[in-house]
Chain A
Amino acid sequence: MTEVKLQNITKNFGLVEVLKEINLSISSGEFCVIVGPSGCGKSTLLRIISGLESANAGQILINETDVSNLPAGERGVAMVFQSYALYPHMTAEQNMSFGLRMTGTPSAQVKERVSRAARILQIETILDRRPKQLSGGEQQRVAIGRAIVREPEVFLFDEPLSNLDAELRVQMRVEIARLHAAIGSTMIFVTHDQVEAMTLADRIVVMNNGMIQQIGKPIELYEKPINQFVAGFLGQPKMNFFEAAVKSREGCRVEILLGVAARPIVLSFAGPLAPGDKLLLGIRPDKIEIVGQEAGEIFGRVEVVEHLGSKSTAYVAINGVAELVTIEIVGKVPLDLGESVGLRLDKGACHLFGVDGAVLPGPIN
């Protein structure tokens, strides 16, 4: 089993710092997902791990061996590309066996490995076809098969599901999860899709602007984000954010005034906050309740309602807040467009962030 350690990895493209002192330890057998928006540096980081790019500074250790100066083919990693990268003039079987054949693996062994991989991925019947003749999902499986036959220490996935249509994406997600369960190798998976991150990862690494924002188990990051970016990135629909200021404080009882809220919101907060402090309040769409106008703490008008069958999403316009507030409701709810409603927040589920984006420590009720 394989551990991967990244130490102080820095990468510049010209004057642009793409990766800033990245430190990361991935344990053996872990499924680690690196997630972040476009341009955050995640793909570059993966390519540096693979050896296709080299870092300007820092080391990469695979099982305690420094591989930073080894070429890609000698690191014991296998990579699955977003565009599959299958050799168009070879059959699926030849694609999978190409690397092994070129590096001198005896043909009996090659055959055995290819058929084993084909069995795992259920592509035995298409081995003699060319990529042109395969569907997107089949091509992706051949690409994964090509990685499996090399029996690598680490599997690297570079946004492998981004080219697939929505339905196929869900299917392949399940396949990859199954694969990890079956093989158990260390896997590093890069994606911009937070759903993939949440569903596949043992641990998630959230990146933005070349820096790691937070590392942890999916549920940890979801429930306890350490900054506004992570809070807003994970979770579907996105967390709602309100600009707020502290109105008054008495021991643990804090009154917060949201923008143009009619009534202050009362929280029980043990952390450092003084009257007049500005902050950001974040709350997830499923933690807001729509109530009558009298009971609400915030008031607004329903602009759009989306009915998805098992749940509905309402978008409410609040005076003085630029974006619509998203509210998730279980089941159907009789809301009229244009209806004036009141919103009540689940206090215990509020996240408070300082103006710098970092979460304010201390329990909230």
Chain B
Amino acid sequence: MKKRDTYWRILFLGPALCAFSVFVLWPLIDSFRYSFTNWNGFSSNYRFVGFDNYARVLADKAFLNATVNSAIWVVAALVLPTLLGLVVALLLNRKFRGVDVFKTIFFLPICLAPIVVGQIWIWIFQPDWGLLNTVIGAATGTASFGFPWLAKPSTALVSVIIAWSWQQTSIAMVIFLAGLTSIPRDLLEAAEIDGVGRWKQKLHIVLPMLRPATAVVVALSIINALKGFDILYIMTGGGPFHSSNTLAFFMYEESFRKYRMGYGSAISVVLFLIILLIMYVYFRQLRKLDKIYD
């Protein structure tokens, strides 16, 4: 009987495991290897350079800049899409005529490609006729308010983050909505009979029961913020003057624009370690909170 089981396990798991090992696991391990070399991407002779790349990474001002920008993005990711997503989910978790229309509207950004999202927001931030400037101009009475959001180093990164948050909020909303619908109505009805007001209901019943969903939203937002590439590529290309360069983009630049693949690998490894660290701390915190509340 055990032999039969083993047969099925190998048959069922084998293909997926093979594909995963060869095209996901092995490259992951390999990237560590390349980070210790000075490979440029196409030549076949490259040599082992030990920790040189890492030393350079840590001393590189560009790396520091990219890290700071990534950090800013992560902080924004924790706040903006999470809160907005929650608010919208709460607003949409009621029954009224047309609620499905609203749900569909907020649902749409999810299926857009980040490239398309970037494209759309380029138009919003357009200096001459972009929506933002048009609205500001109309509101403040200035005839032609032409601030170049994406071209100024001080606002480039923030603009990209806002564009990204727009889509990420939709994702957060969907997850929160799924979590909300799984809260049994009788809990809230019991509270109502006891005379608990709506706000208190939300605070003490709904929010605590949304903890798993919130955990997912936060984790997803952080990871997506650190991974963000497409939207950056099309909106600012990391500029102007590297003011919106993040770790993910920095790595791409070094590897595929400057042909320093070894160095690029080192950057990606550092990025990976940063993610692991954040995830480790995050899950530690989650477990602590679970212990307090359970």
Q: Residues of A with Cβ closer than 8 Å to B?
A: 51, 54, 69-71
Contacts and interface: CB of A to CB of B under 8 A. Distances in A.
Contacts of B1: 51, 54, 69-71
5 contacts: A51-B1, A54-B1, A69-B1, A70-B1, A71-B4
Contacts of B4: 71
A71 B1 CA distance: 5
A93 B1 CA distance: 30
By secondary structure, the A interface counts as: loop
Interface of B: 1, 4
Contacts, number: 6
A14 to B, nearest CB: 18
A51 B4 CA distance: 13
A244 B274 CA distance: 76
Nearest to A68: B1
Contacts of A71: 1, 4
A272 to B, nearest CB: 50
Contacts of A69: 1
Contacts of A54: 1
A73 B1 CA distance: 11
A355 to B, nearest CB: 44
A70 B4 CA distance: 10
A49 to B, nearest CB: 14
Nearest to A51: B1
A59 to B, nearest CB: 15
Contacts of A70: 1
B2 to A, nearest CB: 8
A47 to B, nearest CB: 12
Contacts of A51: 1
A69 B4 CA distance: 11
A51 B1 CA distance: 9
Nearest to A71: B1
A69 B1 CA distance: 6
Nearest to B2: A54
Nearest to A52: B1
B269 to A, nearest CB: 42
A69 B2 CA distance: 9
A54 B4 CA distance: 14
A69 B5 CA distance: 13
Nearest to A54: B1
B11 to A, nearest CB: 16
A51 B5 CA distance: 13
Nearest to A69: B1
A351 to B, nearest CB: 44
Nearest to B4: A71
Nearest to A72: B1
In the A-B complex, list the 6 residue pairs whose CB atoms are closest, starting with the nearest. Answer: A71-B1, A71-B4, A54-B1, A69-B1, A51-B1, A70-B1
A223 B4 CA distance: 48
A72 to B, nearest CB: 8
A328 to B, nearest CB: 44
A47 B149 CA distance: 71
B5 to A, nearest CB: 9
A242 B4 CA distance: 55
A248 to B, nearest CB: 62
B76 to A, nearest CB: 46
B3 to A, nearest CB: 9
A69 B3 CA distance: 10
A224 to B, nearest CB: 40
A214 B286 CA distance: 54
A54 B3 CA distance: 13
